Structure 1
């Protein structure tokens, strides 16, 4: 029987560290810190609410990260 896959671990990183950063710089930094998916969204964007391990979401307003959260 095949082994049960182990979920990938999330980086030991706080989403709050990205608040106020330039969106492009924040995306690069997040990828360097090990986030497999980085998603930038405009304020009020309609998105699905499923939790994805390894994904970091940014709400970007005026080119800066206004909100950041995992999943």
Structure 2
């Protein structure tokens, strides 16, 4: 049997701390804390709902993060 691939994981991070930050600051902080994929979306964006380990999502309005969730 072959080894499992090196899959990304979710960093140990309080994702609620991103709410209220400027989009760019939030994205930079998330990458520095180990998130492999950071996605900023406008409110009401239509997105696929597949779970992706290592991804952090931001809902951004007027340049400010209003919501964050992982996957």
Name the TM tier (shorter chain).
over 0.9
Moved over 6 A (4+): none
SS at match of 1:52: coil
1:23-38 maps to which residues of 2 (within 5 A)? Answer: 23-38=23-38
Aligned residues: 71
SS at match of 1:51: coil
Alignment check: 8 A CA contact 2:43 2:59 kept: yes
Partner residue in 1 for 2:70? 70
Q: Could you tell me how far 1:6 is from its partner in structure 2?
A: 5.5
TM-score, structure 2 as length reference: 0.93
Matched, 1:52 2:52: yes
RMSD: 1.1
Structure 1 residue runs without a partner (length 5+): none
TM-score, structure 1 as length reference: 0.93
SS at match of 1:65: strand
Structure 2 residue runs without a partner (length 5+): none
Matched, 1:17 2:52: no
